[in-house]
Amino acid sequence: MHSFVYRLNGLLTFSVTILAIMCAITSLSDNLHTPSPSAEIQVMNINWFQKQPQGNDEVSLTMNISADLQTLFTWNTKQLFIFVAAEYETPKNSLNQVSLWDAIIPSKEHAKFWIHTSNKYRFVDQGNNLRGKEFNLTLHWHVMPKTGKMFADKIVLTGYSFPEEYR
Amino acid sequence: MGLIGDTVDSIKSIQTRQLLSQAVSLGMIVTSALIIWKALMCVTGSESPVVVVLSGSMEPGFKRGDILFLHMSNAPIRAGEIVVFNVDGREIPIVHRVIKVHERQDTGEVDVLTKGDNNNGDDRLLYAQGQQWLHRHHIMGRAVGFLPYVGWVTIIMTEKPIIKYILIGALGLLVITSKD
């Protein structure tokens, strides 16, 4: 019972168990924290709005995105993955979510920002339903912890709409 | 060395009954590990409740060697979720983020497009020939939790199998030569 190998085995088992407990407690500590983020998105310009040869509508727009997400950071936060998605309904699809822009915020200092950008990913519909349609722009964030449970939330901003005609 | 001498002495004094009872103990240990694994599969609803990150396509969030805990529920798939999916014909699952969702009104079926955070383009190049979207049946689970570095053990054992054999051999030797 007291050979080197047994002691090594006992030591390894104990340290792995302690590490696992520490990771679990670290992750649970995130539940004690209540964040209060804020964000604003303005659509500055619809650059163009066309129907593709395959029949799908596509739009390119430029947005001003400003947000203060500093309260989302805890000691257990490694980074924040944020993205802006356009969400709308069509006759065929009860929900369409199209990610327009995303970014990784590596630390609290970078979490209060303002950016002027066109959509990073192509905004293509399944079909040609976009003319005159209203849509929401939702800022989603995913908290990626140093260890443990990941969680996500969003702010929904309503009141945007496409032009009535192609441009 | 005393350690090797002790081990050799132990092997010399093995009796059949003791060997059999130790084989049974080893079998019990392996079976209980299997039971825990299967129970985890049941609880999380996913075929592989724990996956190791193999590539750098989700950096800096998930690095090679990290472990992801998966959970599959019937909740609808939404943009931003990190999902694990299998492409038809490929056996290695891919862990990427959902960037586009189109959900049908009537059937609730969903078209999903994914992209790795660290990749420039979306995953259409990874899908099967002619496939533009993923569907629900491709998706094995959502990543809900994460542990850094722990997956390196699995990566090392897969890429250098000799280490796996050495480890199992040493464990087997330990069990056989233990006096209880």
Contacts of B30 (CB under 8 A, 6+ apart): none
**Secondary structure letter of residue B134 according to DSSP:** B
Quote the ipTM score. Answer: 0.84
Q: How far apart are CA A48 and CA A56, in angstroms?
A: 14
pLDDT tens sequence across A109-155: 988 999 999 888 888 888 888 888 899 999 999 988 888 888 889 99
**The pTM of the whole model exceeds 0.95:** no
Q: For B6, which of A3, A78, A144 is closest by C-beta distance?
A: A3
H/E run at residue A66: strand A57-68
For A27, nearest residue in chain B (alpha carbons): B145
Which residues of chain B make contact with A4, given a CB cutoff of 8 A?
3
Is the pLDDT score of A18 beyond 90? yes
Q: Enumerate chain B positions whose Cβ falls within 8 A of a Cβ in A.
A: 3, 6, 60-62, 76, 78-82, 97, 99-105, 108, 111, 117, 122, 143-148, 174
CA count, 13 A, side-chain hemisphere, A138: 22
Summarize pLDDT for B39-81 with one digit per residue, the tens: 888 887 777 788 888 888 888 888 888 988 888 888 889 998 9
